């Protein structure tokens, strides 16, 4: 684990009703454990403001799962970065592989979203990752490097977080092993440092079937500065176990 304070981020995806938020917040409030990392929950947009209230007094930040590249306008169903900030959010995930797959989001669009997030004072968590076919073809490093270069906002990277999420490991129960994660993260760090001196400050998260049972090994992997957790972040006890693993 590097000197960067780890980030333990939960992505609830399109799951969660007010009652789920309440039981999660109650469990977090009753938690006697702790974490060396910063904690973040990205609930569905309908729960964003409620989550800010529910976590009041707890060391848990709240973030969005996506934002539009524009600050406002005629884009039915979309959410702008300033809206997330006004609701009390401080982070936003951009370029998650499910959005890239479901909505055809490109690296250029993800870059524009990350820039919109920064302009609104949010920290963007930029997701990149290879498919199984790309990994099997030996293309992993080239794919993630191209996606990273294409998705990063211009300028200062100090407020940017990058999540390496191999698409084949998301929601599948398959996890990249420590060697695979270390290889990709070392490459991403090298690329970040070559782009801008502030690349050293970028937290590199791993995401893909992170669970209580594998969190400690993943968080101890070189150049891993935290995790982005999907399914396991919905269960407070699992999120706590993952958070205490660093």
Question: Residue 234 Cβ, how far from ligand PEP at the closest point, in Å?
Answer: 9
Q: Return the number of the residue (134 or 198) whose C-beta is nearest ligand PEP.
A: 134
Which CB sits closer to ligand PEP, 116 or 167?
167
Is 203 part of any known ligand binding site?
A: no
Shortest distance, CB of residue 207 to ligand PEP, whole angstroms?
4
**Which has the closest alpha carbon to 220: 163, 187, 172, 177?**
177
Q: How far is the CB of 2 from ligand PEP (least distance, A)?
A: 21
The CB-nearest residue to ligand PEP is 230
Collapse the DSSP code of 172 into the 3-class scheme (helix H, G, I; strand E, B; otherwise coil) and give the result: coil
* 190 in a labelled binding site: no
Closer CB to ligand PEP, 107 or 165, in the complex: 165
Measured distance CA(194)–CA(160) in Å, rounded: 15
226: annotated binding-site residue?
no
Given the rule CB under 6 A, which residues bind ligand PEP?
11, 13, 165, 170-171, 207-210, 228-232
Q: Is 13 annotated as a binding residue?
A: yes
Catalytic site includes residue 187? no
Query: In whole angstroms, what is the distance from residue 19 CA to residue 27 CA?
Result: 12
Q: Residue 209, annotated ligand binder?
A: yes
Q: Give dist(CA 245, CA 123) in Å, integer.
A: 23
- Give the active site residue among 68, 96, 185, 187: 96
* Closer Cβ to ligand PEP, 81 or 218, answer by number: 218
Backbone angles phi, psi at 235, to 5 degrees: -105, 115
Nearest distance from C-beta of residue 32 to ligand PEP, angstroms: 25
Exposure string over 114-135, b if 16+ CB within 10 A, otherwise e = bbbbbebebbbbbbbbbbeebb
Annotated active-site residue 165? The verdict is yes
Q: In the bound complex, what is the minimum distance in angstroms from residue 192's beta carbon to ligand PEP?
A: 20
**Whole-number Å distance between alpha carbons of 129 and 151:** 12
Alpha-carbon torsion, ordered 216, 246, 66, 163, to 10 deg: -60
Which DSSP string corresponds to 105-125?
Answer: --HHHHHHHHHHHHHTTPEEE
Q: Is 2 annotated as a binding residue?
A: no
**Per the residue annotation, which of 98, 105, 130, 165 is the catalytic one?**
165
Q: Is the sign of the CA dihedral 9, 70, 146, 130 positive or negative?
A: positive
- Active-site residue set: 96, 165
Annotated binding site: 11-13, 171, 209, 230-231
Annotated binding site for substrate: 11-13, 171, 209, 230-231
């Amino acid at each position: 684990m590097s000197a960067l304070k780890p980030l333990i981020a939960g992505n609830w995806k399109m799951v969660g009703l007010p009652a789920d938020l309440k039981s999660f917040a109650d469990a977090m409030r009753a938690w006697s454990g702790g974490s060396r990392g910063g904690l973040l929950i990205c609930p569905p947009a309908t729960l964003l403001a409620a989550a800010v209230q529910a976590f009041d007094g707890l060391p848990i930040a709240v973030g969005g799962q996506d934002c539009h590249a524009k600050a406002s306008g005629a884009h039915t169903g979309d959410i702008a970065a300033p809206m997330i900030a006004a609701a009390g959010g401080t982070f936003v995930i951009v370029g998650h592989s499910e959005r890239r797959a479901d909505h055809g989001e490109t690296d250029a669009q993800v870059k524009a979203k990350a820039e919109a997030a920064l302009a609104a004072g949010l920290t963007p968590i930029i997701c990149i990752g290879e498919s199984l076919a790309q990994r099997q073809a030996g293309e992993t490093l080239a794919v993630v490097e191209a996606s990273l270069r294409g998705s990063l906002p211009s300028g200062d990277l100090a407020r940017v977080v990058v999540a390496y999420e191999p698409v084949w490991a998301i929601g599948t129960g398959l996890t990249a092993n420590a060697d695979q994660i270390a290889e990709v993260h070392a490459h991403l760090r090298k690329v970040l440092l070559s782009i801008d001196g502030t690349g050293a400050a970028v937290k590199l998260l791993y995401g893909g079937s992170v669970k209580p049972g594998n969190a400690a090994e993943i968080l101890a992997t070189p150049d891993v500065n935290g995790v982005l957790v999907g399914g396991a972040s919905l269960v407070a006890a699992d999120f706590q176990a993952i958070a205490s693993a660093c």
